[in-house]
Amino acid sequence: MRRRCHGESRLGPAWTTVRAVLTALVAAATMGPGAAGAQSLQPAGWDADLRLAEAVDRNPDPDVVEVDFEARVAKVELAPGLQVDAWTYNGTIPGPMIRVKVGDRLIVHFTNNLPRPSTIHWHGLRIPIGMDGVPGYSQDPVQPGETFTYDFVVPDAGIYWYHPHVMSAAQVGFGLYGAFLVEDPAETVGIADDLVLVLSDIDVTEDGKLLPADTGGTVGMLFGREGNQVLVNGRRLPELVVRSGAPQRWRLVNAAKSRYFKLDLGEGNVFRKIGGDGGLTEYSEDHDFIVLGAGERADVLVTPTGDPGGEGLVRSLLHDRGYGSIFGRDFESLVTIRFADDPPYEGDPLPRTSRAMEPYELDGATEIDLELTLQEDPHDQTFAYGINHVPFWKAQPILAGLGETQVWTVTNSTAWSHPLHLHGFFFMVLDDAGDPVRPLEWKDTVDIPHERTVRLAVRFDERPGTWIFHCHILDHADGGLLSAVHLDLPPEDFRNLAEH
Ligand SMILES: [Cu+2]
């Protein structure tokens, strides 16, 4: 019952060079000091359909954010007339957005009122191993009715997210995820109208029942199950009311358990990408599309343009993530853009951004070869994903020393792409010559396309522990594609439990 929306986007062409010059002149003439780009340019209530509820900070200390999270089954409305009993944090999909400043201490009092054990993993955050939320590696599962307090200092600005690491494909697929925005008060992008957009999907029947997480059996696991309802901030095809030409900043999170998104704003409309997984990139760069594998994020500036009173679409185009991922399918409509009657905005052109970043010194880095594999068990003829032909339940960790730099050459021998996520550390992606891809970007999740090789460089810092890495197509992780880096602890301390 995947919904398809027809018709071309009616977003108009991008501004022309002439218009850019004119608008710069107009802006210079009309904008007072200090007002440049810092005031909302959008109609009142423009984002009412999409504004995320935020976690309530109950700590008066301005540098401490203390919140209560309860995982529970709750009825949510995905679209008018489509309600489902989902798995939620505090009763909503996505869960409440956490908003902190870089350097703040975050305390989360987590209560698990789900029928199964759970945890919270803080995706992309460089925090101590004991806060990483992975049973068998960093904490015990939080049993139904029990609590756990997460408490850590947030080290890096950027857009992150959180989700469980128990029965991951099922629990994320049922609705357990939320955005985690870490702001840098010194940052000067200067776009007042910003949104956090959590992209996801969910698999429900027409009468609002969750489909079982093992739908499709082994074939479902091999492919990676996608939900039949695509959601943006927990809604199917929400609406944004915008003034044509007015700049917006979107922080995008792909929280889907398998699905890739290839975002498209219509012909002539570009995304100015200013940040990725781990904060701002080295410099901004314009893209016609933004492709996000499961777990990846992007920070983009956009200026949707169209006729006042008209409408357009944010779409997700087809992306080939391997065998069977395109055939017979169509684009997905994500957000309806309704252009207000206000005359088009003619202000400053979009700002460009930059960040001082140093590429890693790679001389002397330890070379690690990893192959992402699919193998058949000779004993029972079942299939499992693995790393170097070993599923996680038999895996031995990579060893690493504190401060060690490693270059991973990751070859995907399977017919499906794998967005590979490393817990706890950022890495830089390298090009074919072994140099860092420019603009530099701190990544924690990178797409390893099917039958391709990707190299990346990571420096392990002073946080010992056993840090997992895995495919963020969570069916693939549950199906074996997960292993670990053991940082500065003796190998015999490594434990490997079935539930992760
Ligand atoms: Cu995968």
> What is the β-pairing status of strands 229-232 and 427-430?
unpaired
pLDDT over 80 at 4, yes or no: no
Ligand 1: distance of its center to the CA of 294 in Å? 9
Ligand 1: distance of its center to the CA of 287 in Å? 25
Kindly report which listed range (15-29, 168-182, 276-290) carries the lowest average pLDDT score.
15-29
Contact 314, 334 (CB under 8 A): yes
Ligand 1: distance of its center to the CA of 321 in Å? 9
Q: What is the pTM of this model?
A: 0.90
Task: Indicate the average pLDDT of the chain.
Answer: 90
Give the pLDDT of residue 381: 84
Binning pLDDT at 50, 70 and 90, where does residue 108 land?
Answer: very high
Give the pLDDT of residue 2: 34
Ligand 1: distance of its center to the CA of 162 in Å? 19
Ligand 1: distance of its center to the CA of 263 in Å? 20
Ligand 1: distance of its center to the CA of 18 in Å? 46
Beta bridge partners of 242: 339
Give the pLDDT of residue 378: 82
Ligand 1: distance of its center to the CA of 416 in Å? 7
Residues 437-461 pLDDT 10s? 999 999 999 999 999 999 999 999 9
Helices (H) and strands (E) in the chain, counts: 4, 29
Residue 53's alpha-carbon distances to 99, 154, 285, in angstroms, are: 10, 20, 30
Ligand 1: distance of its center to the CA of 137 in Å? 21
Given the structure tokens 């990579």, which residue do they identify? Answer: 398
- One-letter amino acid at 180 equals F
Give the pLDDT of residue 7: 34
Contact 180, 162 (CB under 8 A): yes
Mean pLDDT along residues 241-270: 96
Residue 334's alpha-carbon distances to 53, 233, 236, 315, 372, in angstroms, are: 19, 10, 7, 5, 31
Binning pLDDT at 50, 70 and 90, where does residue 487 land?
Answer: very high
Give the pLDDT of residue 6: 36
Contact 318, 291 (CB under 8 A): no
Ligand 1: distance of its center to the CA of 477 in Å? 7
Question: What is the distance between the alpha carbons of residues 484 and 179, in angstroms, rounded to a whole number?
Answer: 25
Give the pLDDT of residue 295: 98
Residues 74-84 pLDDT 10s? 999 999 999 99
Binning pLDDT at 50, 70 and 90, where does residue 337 land?
Answer: very high
pLDDT over 50 at 356, yes or no: yes
Ligand 1: distance of its center to the CA of 166 in Å? 17
CA angle 71, 73, 77 (to 5 degrees): 115
Give the pLDDT of residue 35: 33
Measured between its terminal Cα atoms, the distance across the chain in Å is 31
Tell me the DSSP string of 101-139: ETT-EEEEEEEE-SSS-B--EEET----GGGS--BTTTB
Higher pLDDT, 100 or 188: 100
Give the pLDDT of residue 293: 98
Binning pLDDT at 50, 70 and 90, where does residue 498 land?
Answer: very low
Ligand 1: distance of its center to the CA of 59 in Å? 40
Ligand 1: distance of its center to the CA of 333 in Å? 24
Phi/psi at 111 (5° precision): -120, 130
Ligand 1: distance of its center to the CA of 423 in Å? 16
Residues 141-189 pLDDT 10s? 999 999 999 999 999 999 999 999 999 999 999 999 999 999 999 998 9
Mean pLDDT along residues 270-291: 98
Ligand 1: distance of its center to the CA of 298 in Å? 20
Q: Which residues are in the CB-under-5-Å shell of ion ligand 1?
A: 418, 471, 473, 476
Ligand 1: distance of its center to the CA of 411 in Å? 12
Q: Is omega for the bond preceding 439 within 30 degrees of 0, making it cis? A: yes
Mean pLDDT along residues 385-402: 94
Kindly report which listed range (33-47, 229-243, 365-379, 423-437) carries the lowest average pLDDT score.
33-47
Question: What is the distance between the alpha carbons of residues 134 and 131, in angstroms, rounded to a whole number?
Answer: 9
Ligand 1: distance of its center to the CA of 258 in Å? 8
Ligand 1: distance of its center to the CA of 476 in Å? 5
Tell me the DSSP string of 239-279: EEEE-TT--EEEEEEE--SS--EEEE--TT--EEEEEETTE
Residues of the chain with pLDDT > 70, as a percent, come to 90
> In the Cβ-directed half-sphere of 130, how many Cα atoms lie within 13 Å?
6
Ligand 1: distance of its center to the CA of 318 in Å? 18
What are the chain's domains?
1-352 (2.60.40.420), 366-493 (2.60.40.420)
Ligand 1: distance of its center to the CA of 450 in Å? 9
Question: What is the distance between the alpha carbons of residues 114 and 146, in angstroms, rounded to a whole number?
Answer: 10
Ligand 1: distance of its center to the CA of 385 in Å? 8
Contact 153, 48 (CB under 8 A): no
Residue 193's alpha-carbon distances to 122, 302, 341, 359, in angstroms, are: 26, 10, 18, 32
Residue 443's alpha-carbon distances to 128, 138, 457, 473, in angstroms, are: 18, 22, 10, 17
Give the pLDDT of residue 268: 85
Ligand 1: distance of its center to the CA of 225 in Å? 11
Beta bridge partners of 471: 420
Residues 191-234 pLDDT 10s? 999 999 999 999 999 889 999 999 989 989 999 999 999 999 99
Ligand 1: distance of its center to the CA of 373 in Å? 10
Q: What is the DSSP letter of 161?
A: E
Ligand 1: distance of its center to the CA of 470 in Å? 8
Higher pLDDT, 127 or 462: 127
Higher pLDDT, 270 or 7: 270
Instruction: Please give the torsion angle defined by the CA atoms of residues 155, 157, 160 and 166, in that order, rounded to the nearest 10 degrees.
Output: 0
Give the pLDDT of residue 489: 52
Ligand 1: distance of its center to the CA of 387 in Å? 11
Give the pLDDT of residue 38: 66
pLDDT over 70 at 23, yes or no: no
Contact 197, 252 (CB under 8 A): yes
Contact 73, 87 (CB under 8 A): yes
Ligand 1: distance of its center to the CA of 472 in Å? 6
Please list, residue by residue across 482-496, b when 16 or more beta carbons sit within 10 angstroms of its beta carbon and e when fewer do: bbbbbbeeeeeebeb
Ligand 1: distance of its center to the CA of 66 in Å? 35
Mean pLDDT along residues 298-317: 96
Ligand 1: distance of its center to the CA of 482 in Å? 9
DSSP H or E run through 21: helix 17-30
Ligand 1: distance of its center to the CA of 94 in Å? 23
Mean pLDDT along residues 315-343: 95
Residue 127 in tokens? 């925090």
User: What SS3 state is found at 493?
Assistant: helix
Other beta carbons within 10 Å of 439:
18
Ligand 1: distance of its center to the CA of 221 in Å? 10
